[in-house]
A and B are shown apart, each in its own frame.
Chain A
Amino acid sequence: MSIMEYNGGSVIAMVGKECVAIACDLRLGNQALGISSKFEKIFPVTDKLYVGLPGLATDVTTLKELFRYRVNMYTIKEEREIEPDTFAHLVSSTLYERRFGPYFIEPVMAGISTTPGGKVKPFIAATDLIGCLNFAKDFVVAGTASSKLFGVAEGLWEPDLEPEDLFETISQTMLNAVDRDAYSGWGTMVYVITKDKVIQRTLKGRMD
C-alpha cells in the first residue's frame, strides 16, 4: 500500500498566453472505496496564485492551513502580496523541513505576476513531496493519474493558448486522464487565471 495512493487524486497546471490554468479532480477515497466527490484540492494563495495539493488527504488539510499561515505572516511582515516564484520557494522549504518524515503531498502551483513595466508573466511550478522544485515552461502534473496526465498533455498542449483554448486543453487533458485512473475522478474543477480575472468552472464528466 502506497501512502501516495491512499486517498487518490490528481492536479495539473498549464501555461497559456498571458494566462495559466490549474485543474484538480474531486475524488476522496479510502483506497479503492470512494468516500467523497466534493474534495477540492486547489486553494487560492493570492488573487492570481493558486496551489493544488494532491496526495494524502490529511496532509492536504494540514498543508493548506500551514501555507495560509505562512503566506499571511509573509504578507504582514512584507506589507505586500507574495509573488508566485517566492511562494514556490516557500512551499519547497516548508516541505524540506520534513525531509525525513515528509508530508505526502506533491504540490502544484499556478499563477501570474505582473512586472513593474506592466508585463504579464505566467508562472507554474510543482515539487515532489520533499520540495524539489520543477519550473516547467509548458505544464506540470501530480497525483495518481500523473503518467496519464503527462501522456495526454504532451499530445494536446501547444504554446501561447488563449484563455478559452487553454481551458479546453486542460479540461480535456484532465477528463481523459482521470477516466483511465481508478483513484482519480468523480468530478473536475478548473481555474483559468488571467491578469484581470479568474474563471472557475466545475466540469461534467464520468462519475464512475
Chain B
Amino acid sequence: MSDTVTLAGPQQRQFNPYSDNGGTILAVAGANFSVIAGDTRQSEGYNIQTRYAPKVFRLTDKAVLAVNGFAADGNMFVKKVKQRLEWYRHAHSKDMPLRSIARLIQSMLYGRRFFPYYVYNILGGIEEDGSGAVYSFDPVGSYERETCRAAGAAQSLVQPFLDNQIYFKNQVAAPGTSHPSHLPLSDVLALVIDSFTSATERHIEVGDGLEIFIVLARGAPIHGLEAIQGIQEMTSNAEGERVFIVRRVLKYD
C-alpha cells in the first residue's frame, strides 16, 4: 500500500517574523551639541501605513535614540531601553551617562544575537565631558562613536553627502587654513534638512514629516535656537542638558 502512494514533498511555508518599514534616520555631533533626526513615514512595500510614526525618542535630557528598520522590533526595543534607564535612575538617583547607554544598547542587541532585533540604532546626545556624541549600531550590537551617521532606507543617498559636507571628505582647505572638526549648529541643521529633502526627492520610503531633536550641553549657548520656527523644548531638568525638537514637513508623494 505505502509504496503505491506517491506523495509530493512536504509543503513548507515559513512564517516570516520580520518586515521592513522604510524610513531614514540621521545624527550629527557638534562640539557641545548633538542633532538626531528621522522622517515620520512608516511604510510596508508600496503602502504608506501612516504619515506620522516617530522613529526618534528622547531617552533622558542628554540622550536621544533613533531607531530604524522593523517598526515592531524598534518600538519594543525603545520600550525596553527606557525601562532599563528608569531602573538605573531608581537605583542610582541620576541619569545613565551616554557612553553607558551605548554599552547597554550593545548588550541588549547582542543578547538577541540569534533572533535579532531587525533595527539600526543611532544614539545621540551629550557625553559626561560635555561633548556632543553620536553612537551608531548594527542590528546585533556592533557599535562605534562617530561624528555623523545616516541609517535606513536612504543611507546610501545621505551618508556620502554627509562625508562631503560634515567630514569635508575630498575637499582641500585653502593654504594656511584647516577644516573645522565640528560645525556650528545652524550649519548642521541646514545640512540635516537638505539631506532629508534630497532623500525624499529620490527615495519612495522617505517623506511626510521630519523630526529633528537637538541636545545642548550643560550651559552651552542657545545658538539662536529660539529663532527657529516651531521649536519646542522637552527638557525635564532645567539645570542640566537641554533637549529641543523641531518639526518640518516633507513631501507626501
Residues on A facing B (Cβ under 8 Å):
147-148, 150-152, 154-156, 172, 175-177, 179-180, 205
Contact = CB atoms under 8 A, between A and B. Distances in A.
A81 to B, nearest CB: 34
Nearest to A205: B170
Most chain B CB within 10 A, of A151, A152, A177, A180, is at A151
A191 to B, nearest CB: 19
A152 B157 CA distance: 7
A179 B158 CA distance: 13
B158 to A, nearest CB: 6
B202 A177 contact: no
B156 A180 contact: yes
Contacts of B201: 154
A139 to B, nearest CB: 11
B160 A154 contact: no
Given A150-B202, A179-B163, A172 B195 contact: no
Interface in B14-41: none
B23 to A, nearest CB: 15
Interface in B194-233: 194-195, 198-199, 201-202
Nearest to B164: A176
B154 interface: yes
B160 A177 contact: yes
Main secondary structure of the interface of B (DSSP, over half): helix
Contact of B161 (A151, A175, A205): A151
A176 B202 contact: no
Interface residues of B, number: 19
Most chain A CB within 10 A, of B161, B163, B198, B199, is at B161
A152 B198 CA distance: 8
Main secondary structure of the interface of A (DSSP, over half): helix
Given A148-B156, A152-B164, A176 B169 contact: yes
A151 B163 contact: no
B171 interface: yes
15 contacts: A147-B156, A148-B159, A150-B157, A151-B154, A151-B158, A151-B159, A151-B198, A172-B164, A176-B160, A176-B169, A177-B160, A179-B169, A179-B170, A180-B160, A205-B170
B202 A151 contact: yes
Interface in B137-170: 154, 156-161, 163-165, 169-170
Contacts of B156: 147-148, 151, 180
A177 B160 CA distance: 6
Nearest to B195: A155
Given A151-B199, A152-B157, A155-B195, 16 more contacts: A147-B156, A150-B202, A151-B158, A152-B160, A152-B164, A154-B198, A154-B202, A155-B165, A155-B194, A156-B161, A172-B171, A176-B160, A176-B161, A176-B164, A176-B170, A179-B169
B139 to A, nearest CB: 20
Given A147-B156, A148-B156, A180-B156, A155 B169 contact: no
A155 B170 contact: no
A154 B200 CA distance: 10
Contacts of A154: 157, 198-199, 201-202
